[in-house]
Structure 1
Amino acid sequence: MAGIVLVFDFDKTIINCDCDNWVVDELGFTDLFEQLLPTLSWNTLMDRMMMELHSHGKTIEDIVKTFHNIPIHPRVIPAIKAAHALGCDLRIVSDANTFFIETILRHLGIREYFSEINTNPAYVGEDGRLRILPYHDFKNCSHGCNLCPPNMCKGLIIERIQNSISPEENKRFIYLGDGGGDYCPSLRLKEKDFMMPRKNFPIWDLICKDPLLVKAEIHEWSDGEDLEQILLHLINKISMEESSQIISNDCKLQTLSLSAHVPQVLQVQQ
């Protein structure tokens, strides 16, 4: 099953909430967040909120503790473990940040199952404040995509992953997401790939406006149980198709090998 690259969004896909909002709400800073929201881009706002938390005495440990009760559907972790056990290459493409995602995955015991995490960088400064930076340095250079926020174009990330894989490997992608930021990468998928948008979420609404723009086969899901069933069905489907292709190729090689000996046999008979 090494032929599958499985790409997950994080917020409202792996976990059942937005981790940025979760931290702000759990630590009691929702009002300030909503006050600043109209004035700043999301990524810049989250960095500002980390400054506000720090200035009000909230520590990194306080942030980490909020993740102990992070909501996640009980079938998501088994789905991730099963996909990994079947040989899929699991990756994350998220507009959250490295600190939040790494901390939550370790808490859930599933960090080891992901080969790559693409998200906004974050680090804890010497003063103990968490800094959150943009994935793309949009202040110096725009990524040029009008579908995505200035700090991250997930479509460009998917293209980089696609280009890193040689055509001979013939890998197929399955992409799972819920937000508007997942629309751009869905347009970069190929006909042989699969798109799993979360139904009645922004990505679903965008795709429904013109489904023909998405070349990949579309399979919607609603909750973690749906996610597990559909994902494992698609993995099994791809596995069966790969097995059929191998058998077909073997048969062709055997036929060609037999054909190569036929003229010699006829010549001997003559």
Structure 2
Amino acid sequence: MSGIVVVFDFDKTIVDCDSDNWVIDELGFTDLFNDLLPTMPWNSLMDKMMMELHSQGITIEDIVKVLHRIPIHPRIIPALKTVHALGCDMRIVSDANLFFIETILNHLGIMEYFSEINTNSGYVNEEGRLRIMPYHDFNKASHGCNNLCPPNMCKGMIIDRIQDSISTEDAKRFIYLGDGAGDYCPSLRLKDRDFMMPRKNFPVWDLISKDPLLLKAEIHGWSDGEELEQVLLHLINTNLMDKNSQFNSSDCKLQILSVSASEALPKVLSVRP
């Protein structure tokens, strides 16, 4: 293994849209969704919408077909394949749901790349309709985090658990990629040896930009799948070269990212003096 744990958000990070919105919009239920959105938490609304779709004759097969055509940047799959080939431990922490994520990853042929998927429960019940349940049952108790996390999931707590599951002797470095406000809390949990990759001009970027010094991790932004690939592979290869510097280049099987001199370093978010 490379000694690097790469944690991906899913929506607008691996896929290039919000998977919940994609399904609702493609099946023609946008207006109802928007009418109900002010009345309940997002996660609860998605469960209700799945009930409504089922009552209107929308089948699981219909939902799967929609998920199979979800937009994804053409450089994302090659990037994920390279990260996996380099021996990184790849995980997902997402506020989508397990059914959507597994359906998409299996369709793309990359399900086995990920050692762990942390997300809301999504399963087909005995009536043949999709149920979407919260990762954290906020009806029983609050997760207690106040860092803009939705009631059903604190990604920061998930990162804490992942970090605690890795022995300090391993000294693994984390790279976290995300776009939304919910990705801000885990960015605060990263260590000074880690890297945060926020999507530029998305909510998590805006939150970090307010005071980048709150983060211990080094910050590297990205704007689309092409830049995600460039920045992520640069960070991984740089760290692997450091780790394997004792080997001759002929013995090292690293797939080094080729960049021009002007692109040699990914852009780091500037901080106030």
Structure-1-length-normalised TM-score: 0.90
SS at the partner of 2:72?
coil
CA distance in 1, matches of 2:59, 2:237: 45
The equivalent residue for 2:51 is 51
Between the aligned partners of 2:137 and 2:24, the Cα distance in structure 1 is 24
2:270 maps to none
Task: Please identify the structure whose Cα radius of gyration is greater.
Answer: 1
Structure-2 separation of matches of 1:53 and 1:203: 31
Question: Whole-Å Cα distance in 2 between the matches of residues 240 and 150 of structure 1?
Answer: 41
RMSD: 1.2
CA distance in 2, matches of 1:162, 1:68: 33
| Amino acid in structure 1 at the alignment position of 2:188 | L
User: 1:156 Cα shift?
Assistant: 0.2
Stretch moving more, 237-246 or 8-17: 237-246
Measure, in 1, the Cα distance between the counterparts of 2:67 and 2:123. Answer: 17
Please list the CA deviations of residues 115-139 of structure 1 after superposition, one character each: whole Å capped at 9, or x if unmatched. Answer: 1000001111111110000001111
Distance in structure 2 (CA, Å) of the matches to 1:126 and 1:150: 27
1:50 deviates by 0.3
Please give the per-residue CA displacement for 1:20-66, whole angstroms capped at 9, x wherever unaligned: 00000000000000000000100000000001101111010010010
Aligned to 1:74: 74
Partner of 1:102: 102
* Secondary structure at 1:168 match in 2: coil
- Is the partner of 1:2 in helix, strand or coil? coil
Instruction: Give CA-to-partner distance per residue, 1:69-124, whole Å, 9 cap, x none.
Output: 11000000000000000000000000000000000001111101101000001111
CA deviation vs aligned residue, 1:212-268 (integer Å, no higher than 9, x gap): 011100000000000001000000111122234899xxxxxxxxxxxxxxxxxxxxx
Q: Kindly indicate whether residue 152 of structure 2 is the aligned counterpart of residue 158 of structure 1.
A: no
Structure 1 residue ranges (4+ consecutive) displaced by more than 6 angstroms after TM superposition: none
What is the rounded CA distance, in whole Å, between the counterparts of 1:213 and 1:181 in structure 2?
16
Counterpart in the other structure of 1:14: 14
> Could you list the per-position Cα deviations for residues 186-230 of structure 1 after superposition, in whole angstroms to 9, with x for gaps in the alignment?
000000000000000000000000000111000000000000010
Query: Hey, what does 1:211 align to over in structure 2?
Result: 212
C-alpha spacing 1:62/1:210, structure 2 compared with 1 (3 Å): same
**Which amino acid letter does the alignment assign opposite residue 116 of structure 2?**
E
TM-score, structure 2 length as denominator?
0.89
Aligned counterparts of 2:38 and 2:246: Cα–Cα separation in 1: 53
Look up the equivalent residue of 1:67 and give its one-letter code: L
Structure richer in helix, relative to its length: 1
Alignment of 1:1-270 (within 5 A): 1-147=1-147, 148-244=149-245
Name the CA distance, whole Å, in 1 between partners of 2:68 and 2:247.
46
| 8 A contact 2:2–2:240 mirrored in 1 | no
Runs of at least 5 residues in structure 1 that lack an aligned partner in the other structure: 248-270
Q: Work out the CA distance in 2 between the residues paired with 1:240 and 1:189.
A: 22
In structure 2, the residue corresponding to 1:74 is in which secondary structure?
Answer: coil
- The 1-side partners of 2:222 and 2:245 are apart by 27
C-alpha distance in 2, partners of 1:218/1:237? Answer: 15
Question: Aligned partners of 2:28 and 2:47: how far apart in 1?
Answer: 16
Shift of 1:184: 0.2
**SS of corresponding position for 1:121:** strand
Contact 2:92–2:118 (CA<8 Å) still a contact in 1? yes
Write the letter of the residue equivalent to 2:49: M
| Deviation digits for residues 153-189 of structure 1 (CA, Å, limit 9, x no counterpart) | 0000000000000011110000000000000000000
Paired letter, 1:208: S
Unaligned runs of 5+ in 2: 249-273
Query: 2 CA distance for matches of 1:67 and 1:23?
Result: 7
Distance verdict in 2 for CA 1:245–1:201, change over 3 Å: farther
Distance across 2 between alignment mates of 1:2 and 1:135? 29
